[in-house]
Structure 1
Amino acid sequence: MDFVHKYEAFQKDVQPALKSKQEELAMLGYEGVTEQEIWNFLTRKKWKKTKDDIRLYEIVADILSVQPGEYMNFVTIEAFKIGSLSLDDEKERRELLK
């Protein structure tokens, strides 16, 4: 059985904020980041502990406050966890440092 995050019901409502954040990251050079990846970051990292009385504006504020560095740190750590990133390969090291 897949775990459904408590805030999943808000995802469709906050789609414009996710798109805005995705476009902002693309302008900063992170063209490959998708809206779903931003949502996954938030549900797995920023919203590990959920609030029972969360408001829509709080979720939007969290989305818009995502910093590229914190997102990239999360992605890098996740890549190491699943073993898909190896620093033995020169090409992968250069890609990571972009």
Structure 2
Amino acid sequence: MAEAHPYQQYFQQLLPALKSKVEEFRLLNYGTIDIPTLWEYLTKKKWKKPKEHIHIYELVSDIVATTPGDFMSYKTVEAFRGKHWFGENGQGEWQELLGTKKN
């Protein structure tokens, strides 16, 4: 099981800011975002290297400063890192697509 992020202890306190940011994204027509997805972005990208003595206002500031562009860039990179673009036979399909598959 993955180890919990050090800022997980602040999740409940940050919930109003997270909800507000999700609502903002939805108003800007980024309707697929939800709180768990935003939290994942923050913990895996924005707070990748957590500070030892962080203040709650710094975390709120990071949430408020998050832009749709930041989030979408992260999601795009994560999609490219995905293992199976073409399913279980991904390698063979890539080779066939690129014309490098040997018969």
Q: TM-score, normalised by structure 1?
A: 0.82
Match of 2:54 in 1: 54
Deviations 1:27-56 (A, max 9, x none): 111011001111110100011111111011
CA distance in 1, matches of 2:76, 2:4: 24
Unaligned 5+ runs, structure 1 = 87-98
Runs of 4+ in 1 over 4 A off after TM superposition: none
Tell whether 2:23 aligns with 1:23.
Answer: yes
CA distance in 2, matches of 1:14, 1:84: 34
Q: What displacement does 1:4 show?
A: 0.8
CA distance in 2, matches of 1:17, 1:62: 10
Go from structure 1 to structure 2 and tell me whether the alpha carbon gap of 1:47 and 1:76 turns closer, same or farther (over 3 Å shift): same
Give the % identical residues: 41
CA distance in 2, matches of 1:84, 1:62: 32
Structure 1 counterpart of 2:16, which letter?
P
Structure 1 counterpart of 2:69, which letter?
G
Instruction: Answer with 1 or 2: which has the greater Rg.
Output: 2
Deviations 1:46-96 (A, max 9, x none): 11111111011111110111010010000011111114657xxxxxxxxxx
Corresponding residue pairs, total: 86
Match of 1:64 in 2: 64
CA distance in 2, matches of 1:16, 1:82: 31
Match of 2:12 in 1: 12
Q: TM-score, normalised by structure 2?
A: 0.78
Q: Map 1:30-41 to 2 at 5 A.
A: 30-41=30-41
CA distance in 2, matches of 1:18, 1:57: 13
Unaligned 5+ runs, structure 2 = 87-103
Alignment RMSD = 1.3
